[in-house]
Structure 1
């Protein structure tokens, strides 16, 4: 007989195209337009493909609960206001963060194509998943980018003990000669993203003891206790300062919530009011595009070919491991835990959408 823990940990493969179509249908059935549902579904599945499972399709149940509880407006369309020729602001109107941010980056790219740089501030938004999809949106237009967001309280400021700052990612990117190996940095200012704790909880797994403290301030390997306590900033005061920086540029600057007032995406009681900050930069401002990409390729080779430390088999460029994972999962499929599939199918059953097509079971 299979134990409940083994059942939770059991993984099944799902084709990315099937998963994206499935997620889009659930979104449409919950009031999202076909266009906006396509954006959200694509962004979530991009995260699944890159191995950022914490920010992928498993977020659908929490998003749908926010819609049902009127904490997120599935029908909202973002409003764009031009501030200067190279600066714009988007009001997300409490709709999907993916939709507001997609519109914001599209406008930032347009401005950068004309003026060399485009900056967009976004307010009244929601969680937008993995930041790297926005970097990739810029890369598809041959643009460099900066992507900031703030988020709900999860870690203390350095020297404090209460949840105040969010585990707010900083992301950036630049194109290269090899389009399969661009520069993509997407990192949280904490030792680990809080989504990894939620993932461990769903799958019945333990977490490393240096990720978080429980409600009593003690180290813990129990994800449930970790969620009662605080995440730990990476590098001590450095991680704390980066989290504050995200709040300055994304929250204070935009007019969105800040200083610990962003609502947790798993809390369906009220709007989140997340803020984002996006910049697109034209890489050929000071040289030709070919020269820029050639220099990026040289940097890549210098990094990955550098002398390895003892015990290291391979050196990777930022974002390269995720690109390799994406290539593999496009071919083999995306692994989802049985518990995650059940949660997704429960959402499908609620709105009479066909259940998710799954393939063979794989070892966890």
Structure 2
């Protein structure tokens, strides 16, 4: 691989970015209400530092719309199965819209019955899972958020792409709204989006992230995308990716076992499945007691004895919360090529270019 080429970076105001993304979506036949949900979720990822699942996904999503592999006008339909279980058919619409509707219904059921579960089929990529967790947190709920995804990982002992780097996510509120528990992680050593990000920016990747098509470690993101991602913890990461496929794909009626379409492939519908659960934290004790116990857990974690060379211990999700505070104040960084890619989409639909702060 050639030496990494440092691209100029630009800062974007979060409000301007959300307006821009919303306008591009609407210009591509996305209803305003749906566009607002998608834009908010994408910018939320950018703010949290999860650039791999943020606004840079717009060009691939818009190409899927242009190739009729994704229907931006689709409205999810809900079927109530039991008092605490429902299913949503996304009808090949945006995963953001279907997952938002699904978690909203799960929260409604949990408010009445203590928990609610929603399975989603025929959906698409929904970006960063943490935004769905945050939707539940804002309603005072604990949550589980699963999704499956296109093949990227071999099963342990195999060499072909079969399982997705499907994130497992969950959350719980605490006494301090600024310090909730938010876990959002892929079962791979690194999210595949980080490889696409490195490719866009002309950067190398760590050799422990992926193998090329010959099965050799590589620091070239292009060769990594031709090969396979590596599961974290060997067979443990492989098993987690299979678990995501069981709950999100098999259970829902969506694609599974390697048949989910890559979000960067505009040739056909993705048929992604999701599995969403909302739980009332005060099922077994008062909410006050639950939050006190969460606060105590937080304190025990961050104040535990540090290993050599560690300055600070963070609670899951805390680094992203701190990043959000920084980017709200200073702006969101984008490489020059990334700004150009977004503005190319704007040109295609006669939307004003993205404003840069510097």
CA-based RMSD of the aligned residues comes to 0.9
**Does residue 234 of structure 1 match 2:239?**
no
**Does residue 5 of structure 1 match 2:5?**
yes
**Does residue 148 of structure 1 match 2:150?**
no
Where do residues 303-314 of structure 1 align in structure 2 (5 Å cutoff)? 303-314=301-312
Q: Distance in 2 between matches of 1:260 and 1:42?
A: 30
2:32 corresponds to which of 31, 34, 40: 34
Q: Distance in 1 between matches of 2:176 and 2:330?
A: 23
1:134 corresponds to which of 132, 135, 146: 132
Q: How many residues align?
A: 356
2:67 corresponds to which of 57, 69, 76: 69
Residue number in structure 1 paired with 2:23? 25
Q: Distance in 2 between matches of 1:41 and 1:288?
A: 36
Summarize deviations over 1:20-60 as a string: whole Å, max 9, x none: 00000000000000000000000000000000000000000
Q: Secondary structure at the match of 1:284?
A: coil
Q: Distance in 2 between matches of 1:177 and 1:132?
A: 19
Q: Distance in 1 between matches of 2:258 and 2:240?
A: 15
Q: Distance in 1 between matches of 2:293 and 2:189?
A: 31
Q: Secondary structure at the match of 1:89?
A: strand
29-38 or 286-295, larger mean C-alpha shift: 286-295
TM-score w.r.t. length of structure 2: 0.99
**C-alpha displacement of 1:10:** 1.6
Where do residues 298-337 of structure 1 align in structure 2 (5 Å cutoff)? 298-337=296-335
Q: Distance in 2 between matches of 1:103 and 1:168?
A: 20
**C-alpha displacement of 1:179:** 0.4
**Does residue 197 of structure 1 match 2:195?**
yes
Q: Distance in 2 between matches of 1:11 and 1:79?
A: 42
| Structure 2 residue runs without a partner (length 5+) | none
Residue number in structure 2 paired with 1:96? 94
Q: Secondary structure at the match of 1:215?
A: coil
Residue number in structure 2 paired with 1:277? 275
Q: Secondary structure at the match of 1:299?
A: helix
Where do residues 288-303 of structure 1 align in structure 2 (5 Å cutoff)? 288-303=286-301
Where do residues 137-286 of structure 1 align in structure 2 (5 Å cutoff)? 137-286=135-284
Q: Distance in 1 between matches of 2:337 and 2:217?
A: 27
| Structure 1 residue runs without a partner (length 5+) | none
**C-alpha displacement of 1:4:** 9.9
**C-alpha displacement of 1:294:** 1.0
1:85 corresponds to which of 58, 78, 83: 83
Q: Distance in 1 between matches of 2:282 and 2:9?
A: 45
Q: Distance in 2 between matches of 1:280 and 1:215?
A: 40
Q: Distance in 1 between matches of 2:8 and 2:305?
A: 39
User: Which 4+ stretches in 1 moved above 2 angstroms?
Assistant: 3-6
Q: Distance in 2 between matches of 1:78 and 1:210?
A: 40
- Residues 4, 158 of structure 1: alpha-carbon distance in 2 compared, 3 angstrom cutoff: closer
Q: Are the equivalent residues in 1 in contact too, given 2:144–2:171 (CA < 8 A)?
A: yes
Summarize deviations over 1:70-125 as a string: whole Å, max 9, x none: 00001000001100010000000000000000000000000000000000000000
Q: Distance in 1 between matches of 2:152 and 2:97?
A: 24
1:48 corresponds to which of 43, 46, 49: 46
Q: Distance in 2 between matches of 1:10 and 1:152?
A: 32
Q: Distance in 2 between matches of 1:294 and 1:333?
A: 34
TM-score w.r.t. length of structure 1: 0.97
